[in-house]
Structure formats: C-alpha cells, structure tokens
Chain A
C-alpha cells in the first residue's frame, strides 16, 4: 500500500455514496507544480501527435504525448528519472494544447520539463547553452543594437561575421537578421508626447463619435520587443487605431514577454522579465486598464504561460485582463460593421497571403484576420492554410534546426506561392521572418491594415 489513506470500509461492489467518503490526497502540500492530474487525464488518443509540426517531418522526435503526459508519469514514479533530451527538439508551438480533448496541459508540461532539463541536465559551458541563452535574450541584443541601428544592421548581416557566428555559435547563416528601426516605438511614443498626447487624441475621437468625454476607455499596450525595436509601424498602428476608437493608450515599463526563454528552457530569465511585466501591468489592471498585445506570442505568454509557470502577485489578474489587439476591439466595439463600411486604397490595397501563427490558436484567434477583413473593400485576405511556419521564434535560427524549420515551412511557402497576392500578413514577428525568408514577400500586420481602413 502507498502512504495514501484509504477509507476504512470500502467495498468496490456496493455503493458507498451514503457513507462518509474522503477523497485521497496522494501528494499533500508539495510546492512544485503537480502535473500528475494532467497526466492522468490523458487517455492516449494521440490527437496531440497529429498536431505536432516537428513529428511530421522528423521521426526522431517522439511527439507531444511522450514529452507531456508519458514523461510526467515516468517522473512521478521515479525521482531519478531524467528528462529526455528530445524535449529540446520541441519548438514550443503549443498546438498540442488546442488539440487535447481531455484538457491535458501539454505545453505547461513541456515548458516545465524543458526548464528542468536545462537547469539540471544541460552543460552550462556548452556552446548550445550559450547560444540558446543569447537567442532567448533577444531583447538584450536588440536593446544595444537599437542604440546604433544602422551600424547594427550592417554588422549583423555582414557575411564573414555571420559565417563566424554559425561556426562558433551555431546560429544559421542562411537567414538575414531583421532590420532595426532607426527610431524605436518608445522613442516615437515619447517624442509624440506620451500618455498626455494619447489622452488628448482619445478625447477628440470620443467627441467625434459622440461618446461621453470621460468614457472609461483606457488600455495598456504591451508592444513587446519586436514592435519596439524592429517594426515600430505596428505599434504606431495600434496606438492610432485605439485612439480613433476613443481609447487612451499607455505604454508601461516592460521587458521581454518570455516567449523565447520558455522555448529555450531559460525559466529563471523568463521569471525575471515576467516579474517586471506583471508588476507594471498589475498596477494598471487595478486602475481599470486592460493589457493589449499586438504580438500573439506576447499575449499568449501573459495569458497562459505566466499563470501556468509562475506564481507572482497579480499574475492571474493580468492574465484575465490581457487581450490581443484586434480581439479586444471585436469584443468592445462594433468592429465588423466599421470594417464593412470602410474601404482601403493606396499602399495597402493589396491581396494578402495570411498565415495564422501557432500561438494565435489556443487564444481562438487563428481565423480572426481572415474573417474580419472578408467584408473590407479594396483588399483580399487569403488564408494560406493551417500549417506551422516552422520558425517557432529562435528554433529556426539554430544551425542544426534550420533544415527542419524549412521543411515544416514548406507547406506554407507553397500555399503562399499559390495565393493571389504577393504581400504576406501575420501577427507574429518570427512567422513574418519565415514568410519573408521563404517567399521574398513583404509582410504586414493586421493592425496596419486596420489603420489604413479606419484611421484618416
């Protein structure tokens, strides 16, 4: 018998509902996340495996069912059980979460296992660890590069330097580094007058719309690293669209959402950044703000990974009050009608080949852009299918994973090629890199299209 207490007179044949029955607490008072109930919910239907973009192209990868519930079962019965090193081949697309009919927290299990593997089993002096740590901390590199954007752009794509990076660090030289903007989003925001200016713009818009001047419309923008350092036009579009609907925007202090850190098992780094983000967002949420992200991996991190992996004051409140930028407007405004009445001409009157990022799926947002823009005059948005782009953040930047990443992306490239337009669209910055890399198309964000449609 285990040390679990069993009820004294339990006869499995006779009903015992009338008697006092205490459910058994098998692992009382553990501080670790107990993932056993999740593992127990798995009935091995393998639906998660059919969603895994890695297992589809790499038969050395044992798939999400193994990485999740099976590994946790082994660990539960054997304290010395090591995490299998194949967990590093999981790209953290999190598609398996959306697949499980039994609610098994697969990505939480993968993230936890990967964190344990990196902290306990990985050699901290290995090239792989150093490389992964650098890639995961993209924000740090971007921060320095943004101080000298032109020099950084030239240096980062300088052939011999890239050759050296591949040979010494294992960062593929096949890809072009994304360009750093000459003015970051935050610099633009500050130049423009910050919150005060936004308040003024929002008031003017409310007046135009016949809304009360003091309407309680305010949001906190989590722009993330990429719209700050690389694509500030996405951040600007977010601000202008929200202000046009009468929302006052604030851009609170923030660090990396943690997505690349989860994917590389760097949970301590992720926690440090999460603490900053949660602390600044939680205060605003308390004042009635909602947190809005334009990157679907950032919104996914704040909504799902934070409460699943960390225990930080206010973390649940932040998760409950975080939304993706277009989603929030769909809920709170008659966005569909406004889009239906609008028309786009000029630069963005295009046919777009749209790819839904994996991280938009668990949030139920994978069809949002296609459905919303269906009624917009002057543009056509065509879905390029439900495959994964294959880059999965830092994954496709690793020299040893580059080929796999491109094999996963092949289906998307083909569909992009067949789509009518030659401009791409997606919410995710790294999917955008992959789309551009595989097709040569310019890639835009749905917020930019919304800005073109709704903001004069």
Chain B
C-alpha cells in the first residue's frame, strides 16, 4: 500500500503551492509534500512578474508586454503570456489581501535597503508606501532592529530620486525589548496589543508605539515601519496606528525572516486547505520507483521510507537555494528524480570573475518541453507524468530579472492544472 492521491506536488514554495491549488481547483485529489516549512518565510512577500529584461533593460513598465520577446528557453515562453495572466488571477483570488491586480503596469516599491523595486503584486500593508506616490514620507526604524536603519534607507531613497521628501528617525520600541528580539516578538505584542511598560506605566503596545512616533512626525503624510506590524491582524494594527498618527501607515518589506512572507504562506496554505488538498511538511522525498513513468515516491522519516503514489507528479523543489538543484565538483544535478540539468562541463565556466557578473549558474535548472516536462540530455521527456515548476526550472535568472515569484506562480499554475487534467 501507499499514501495515494491523483496529483502529488513535491515542494511547498510559491510554485508548489500554486500548482497544488490549481490542481485542486480542477477537481483533482491533491497532495503536497514539502521537506520543511515553506521558503516563503524567507521571501519579501512581494510578487514580481518581470522587472528587467535579461539584458538588464528596465525597470519595465509593463512586464506582460516584454514576455513575448524573452529568449525561447525562458519559462514564461513555455507557458505563454495568457497563462501568466490566468495564473495571476488565481493568485489574486486566493490572496485577496494583495494589491496591484488593477493594472498591468509594475508598481515601484521601496525596499529595506533603500532601493526601489518594480513588482506586480504587493501586500495591502505596503500600498501606502509606493515610490510613485508623491506624498512626503517619514520612515521609522527600531533601534534594536539593525536590519532597518531608517535614516540610511531614507538617504538611499533620496539618492534614487524618489519624487517626495523622505526622512528617517530611529526609536526604541516601547517596552524595551532585547537587542535581537525576533520579528515574531514584535508582531505578537502588536497582534495581542499587550501592555508594555513605558516610564513605569503600562500602556497597550499600539498606543505606546504611536506615542513614540507622534512627536517625530513633522508635515509628512505617511509613515513607514519595517514589516513587523502583526502576524495575524496586520490590517487592524495599521488602521489603529494610522488613526493615532493621523497619517497613512505602511510597512517596508524586509529580508528573512519575513512577516509578509509568512502571511503570504498562511494565506496560500489556507486557500489550499479550503480547496481540499492534503499537505505534509517535515520530511523529504528521497527516492522514487518507475522507468518512463513515476510509479511512486518515498518520503524518508528517520530511516523509514513511506511510499506515496499518484498518477501525476509536479516537481517544485526550488533552485540552488531551495536545494531543488544541487552541484558538486563533478556537475549540477536535480536530486529527487535525477532529471538532467544542462550545464557547462568545465565548472570554471559556471560563473564569471565579476561578483555581480552574468553568471551562467544563475540560469541553471531543468529544461522542459512546452508542457513543462523535464527533458533528458537528448531532449526527450524524462518521465511522462512529471512536470516541473518554479526555480527548479532553468533558462532564467530571477534575481537579475526580478521574475522569481511570477515564474513560480505561472509555471506552478500550468503544471498543476495540466497534471489535474491528465490525472485518470
């Protein structure tokens, strides 16, 4: 026996989650297995489609317009711009707290490094912070949180030529948390609005935070905080702060571990749960059985190998960072199904001498046919019932193009939907 489903998705990132959701919405019996918690916790929570062309031109105003001119090997070209749009519609429906779907144009979001990033969808909490908005801005950093140095970020944004005045101030978070308090600690305090000690008096955290910021506010019309404003109730916290400060409040997306990423993960997992899928995290898929078709895969739990079988499989294990693609001195490989990963035979050709150069390895990943089936070295599909999605795919450099989330959503959607349609 085995644990059975019609579609088995391997990987719990944006591609795997979108794939499972698309398949479940097609009516398939879906199971998603992920080695560890979703890597969305390490993502900014912004959903980019395409910010720059592979040649570095940009920031692009309309990512959809640029897709047809991408190289043939690019995953967007495999699925087509129509599918990219459909996939984003699914995303918009599943995550109603996101904005940006009203237009094809990229939004410009300030980052915690003080740069401006073109992105297609962003959490509602970031929307008052758009860099295209001309309202003057106060950024508030927390002294104990070294990841966000507000005056420094403000100076960078100013240097980037944003169309508004921006200023940074640093405060001590009310309650004087430890120097490296976790983002979840700030979020929990604000979520529960617990009382904190301010000069010997107990004050609810939200009120106390507003009190610290109020005297610093000059004639700015909006205030930006690092993304720590709650995990469960961010909208409510923002509204209360905004009310107390008399200006709009927004969050600047942060590096890992990221609350916007965590909230996005929660939203997608609950959409998947509602769609009736099964989900298991905590243990890796280590092996499989099958020749032309994958018959079943094995999940390893402390030495026990638990068989899971399905009719169709989706590989969404991530790229080098997510360990869906691995390399050693001998070569580059895909560890679960050993799908072929095209790469230069001499490993000194994998990268450039220049740190920020055009590294080949950034585009390494499995190559697929137009149906997203991984291809072997002689360009035949590796398995008839396996599709790949997300950053396990090759042919694009998501970090340079700012296309990671969009490719994951579009290919995940296509792979999941086709797998469901083909499942017996």
- The finding on whether chains A and B are genuine partners in a shared complex, rather than unrelated, reads yes
Q: For the complex, give the distance between the alpha carbons of A56 and B188 in Å.
A: 6
Q: Does A82 have its Cβ within 8 Å of any Cβ on chain B?
A: no
Check B281 against A364 for contact (C-beta < 8 Å).
Answer: yes
Check A47 against B307 for contact (C-beta < 8 Å).
Answer: no
Check A60 against B178 for contact (C-beta < 8 Å).
Answer: yes
Q: In chain A, residues 8-59, which have Cβ atoms closer than 8 Å to a Cβ of chain B?
A: 15, 17, 45-47, 49-52, 55-57, 59
Contact A363:B282 (CB < 8 A) given known A304-B302, A330-B3? yes
CB B174 to nearest CB in A, in angstroms, measures 12
CB A324 to nearest CB in B, in angstroms, measures 10
Contact A51:B37 (CB < 8 A) given known A101-B42, A331-B306, A364-B299? yes
Which residue from chain A places its CB closest to the CB of B330 in the assembled complex?
Answer: A17
Check B184 against A320 for contact (C-beta < 8 Å).
Answer: no
Check B192 against A410 for contact (C-beta < 8 Å).
Answer: yes
CB A105 to nearest CB in B, in angstroms, measures 12
What are the residues of chain B within 8 A of A336 when measuring CB–CB? 4
Contact with A50, one of B232, B257, B276, B329 (Cβ below 8 angstroms)? B257
Q: Does B256 have its Cβ within 8 Å of any Cβ on chain A?
A: yes
Check A45 against B257 for contact (C-beta < 8 Å).
Answer: yes
Contact A49:B182 (CB < 8 A) given known A101-B42, A320-B302? yes
Check B303 against A49 for contact (C-beta < 8 Å).
Answer: no
Contact A98:B281 (CB < 8 A) given known A45-B256, A50-B41? yes
Q: In chain A, residues 205-249, which have Cβ atoms closer than 8 Å to a Cβ of chain B?
A: none
Q: For the complex, give the distance between the alpha carbons of A361 and B283 in Å.
A: 10
Q: In chain A, residues 353-394, which have Cβ atoms closer than 8 Å to a Cβ of chain B?
A: 361-364, 366-367, 371, 374, 383
Check B280 against A367 for contact (C-beta < 8 Å).
Answer: yes
What are the residues of chain A within 8 A of B323 when measuring CB–CB? 101
Q: For the complex, give the distance between the alpha carbons of A330 and B4 in Å.
A: 9
Check B184 against A50 for contact (C-beta < 8 Å).
Answer: yes
What are the residues of chain A within 8 A of B44 when measuring CB–CB? none
Contact A321:B281 (CB < 8 A) given known A59-B177, A62-B178, A62-B180? no
- Chain B residue total in the interface (Cβ 8 A): 45
Q: Does B203 have its Cβ within 8 Å of any Cβ on chain A?
A: no
Check A55 against B256 for contact (C-beta < 8 Å).
Answer: no
What are the residues of chain A within 8 A of B355 when measuring CB–CB? none
Which residue from chain A places its CB closest to the CB of B5 in the assembled complex?
Answer: A336
Which residue from chain A places its CB closest to the CB of B299 in the assembled complex?
Answer: A364
Check B299 against A47 for contact (C-beta < 8 Å).
Answer: no
Q: In chain A, residues 278-329, which have Cβ atoms closer than 8 Å to a Cβ of chain B?
A: 303-304, 307, 316, 319-323
CB A321 to nearest CB in B, in angstroms, measures 7
Check B185 against A55 for contact (C-beta < 8 Å).
Answer: yes
What are the residues of chain B within 8 A of A49 when measuring CB–CB? 182-184, 257
Q: In chain B, residues 1-44, which have Cβ atoms closer than 8 Å to a Cβ of chain A?
A: 1-4, 33, 36-37, 39, 41-42
What are the residues of chain A within 8 A of B115 when measuring CB–CB? none
Check A361 against B182 for contact (C-beta < 8 Å).
Answer: no
Contact A323:B278 (CB < 8 A) given known A101-B36, A101-B39? no
For chain A, the bracket of interface size reads 35 or more
Q: For the complex, give the distance between the alpha carbons of A47 and B304 in Å.
A: 27
Which residue from chain B places its CB closest to the CB of A320 in the assembled complex?
Answer: B303
Q: Does B279 have its Cβ within 8 Å of any Cβ on chain A?
A: yes
Check B280 against A47 for contact (C-beta < 8 Å).
Answer: no
Check A63 against B256 for contact (C-beta < 8 Å).
Answer: no
Q: Does B356 have its Cβ within 8 Å of any Cβ on chain A?
A: no
Which residue from chain B places its CB closest to the CB of A367 in the assembled complex?
Answer: B279
What are the residues of chain B within 8 A of A15 when measuring CB–CB? 346-348
Q: For the complex, give the distance between the alpha carbons of A226 and B339 in Å.
A: 48
Check A59 against B282 for contact (C-beta < 8 Å).
Answer: no
Which residue from chain B places its CB closest to the CB of A374 in the assembled complex?
Answer: B276
What are the residues of chain B within 8 A of A55 when measuring CB–CB? 181-182, 184-185
Which residue from chain A places its CB closest to the CB of B191 in the assembled complex?
Answer: A411
What are the residues of chain A within 8 A of B304 when measuring CB–CB? 303, 319-323
Check B2 against A331 for contact (C-beta < 8 Å).
Answer: yes
Q: Does B87 have its Cβ within 8 Å of any Cβ on chain A?
A: no
Contact A364:B36 (CB < 8 A) given known A50-B257, A62-B180, A303-B301? no
Q: For the complex, give the distance between the alpha carbons of A383 and B279 in Å.
A: 13
What are the residues of chain A within 8 A of B329 when measuring CB–CB? 17
What are the residues of chain A within 8 A of B113 when measuring CB–CB? none
What are the residues of chain B within 8 A of A319 when measuring CB–CB? 302-304
Check B302 against A307 for contact (C-beta < 8 Å).
Answer: yes
Q: Does A333 have its Cβ within 8 Å of any Cβ on chain B?
A: yes
What are the residues of chain A within 8 A of B307 when measuring CB–CB? 331
Q: For the complex, give the distance between the alpha carbons of A15 and B348 in Å.
A: 8
Q: Does B139 have its Cβ within 8 Å of any Cβ on chain A?
A: no
What are the residues of chain A within 8 A of B185 when measuring CB–CB? 55-57, 59
Check B282 against A47 for contact (C-beta < 8 Å).
Answer: no
What are the residues of chain A within 8 A of B281 when measuring CB–CB? 98, 361, 364, 366
Q: Does A181 have its Cβ within 8 Å of any Cβ on chain B?
A: no
Contact A56:B184 (CB < 8 A) given known A101-B42, A362-B282, A410-B192? yes
Q: Does B100 have its Cβ within 8 Å of any Cβ on chain A?
A: no
Q: Does A450 have its Cβ within 8 Å of any Cβ on chain B?
A: no
Q: Does B332 have its Cβ within 8 Å of any Cβ on chain A?
A: no
Q: Does A78 have its Cβ within 8 Å of any Cβ on chain B?
A: no
Q: In chain B, residues 330-379, which have Cβ atoms closer than 8 Å to a Cβ of chain A?
A: 346-348
Q: Does B262 have its Cβ within 8 Å of any Cβ on chain A?
A: yes
Q: For the complex, give the distance between the alpha carbons of A330 and B31 in Å.
A: 14
Check B301 against A52 for contact (C-beta < 8 Å).
Answer: no
Q: Does B322 have its Cβ within 8 Å of any Cβ on chain A?
A: yes
Q: Does A118 have its Cβ within 8 Å of any Cβ on chain B?
A: no
CB B334 to nearest CB in A, in angstroms, measures 17
- Provide the A81-116 mask, 1 if CB < 8 A to any CB of B, else 0: 000000000000000001111000000000000000
Q: For the complex, give the distance between the alpha carbons of A319 and B232 in Å.
A: 37
CB B177 to nearest CB in A, in angstroms, measures 5
- Provide the B270-296 mask, 1 if CB < 8 A to any CB of A, else 0: 000100101111110000000000000
CB A11 to nearest CB in B, in angstroms, measures 13
Q: For the complex, give the distance between the alpha carbons of A219 and B344 in Å.
A: 52
Check B301 against A363 for contact (C-beta < 8 Å).
Answer: yes
CB A7 to nearest CB in B, in angstroms, measures 14
Which residue from chain A places its CB closest to the CB of B178 in the assembled complex?
Answer: A59
Q: For the complex, give the distance between the alpha carbons of A246 and B180 in Å.
A: 55
Check B188 against A331 for contact (C-beta < 8 Å).
Answer: no
CB A98 to nearest CB in B, in angstroms, measures 5
Q: For the complex, give the distance between the alpha carbons of A101 and B318 in Å.
A: 12
What are the residues of chain A within 8 A of B278 when measuring CB–CB? 367, 371
Check B257 against A47 for contact (C-beta < 8 Å).
Answer: yes
Which residue from chain A places its CB closest to the CB of B348 in the assembled complex?
Answer: A15
* Residue in B41, B283, B346 with the greatest tally of chain A CB atoms within 10 Å: B41
Which residue from chain B places its CB closest to the CB of A324 in the assembled complex?
Answer: B301
- Provide the B290-327 mask, 1 if CB < 8 A to any CB of A, else 0: 00000000010111101100000000000000110000
20 new A-B contacts, CB < 8 A, other than A319-B302, A331-B1, are A15-B348, A47-B37, A47-B42, A49-B257, A50-B41, A50-B182, A63-B182, A98-B36, A98-B281, A98-B282, A100-B36, A307-B302, A307-B303, A320-B302, A321-B304, A361-B282, A363-B282, A364-B33, A371-B278, A383-B273
Selected A-B contacts with CB under 8 Å, 15 pairs: A15-B346, A46-B182, A46-B257, A50-B182, A50-B257, A57-B188, A60-B178, A98-B37, A98-B281, A321-B304, A323-B304, A331-B306, A331-B307, A334-B1, A364-B282
4 closest Cβ pairs, A-B complex: A320-B303, A364-B282, A303-B302, A364-B280
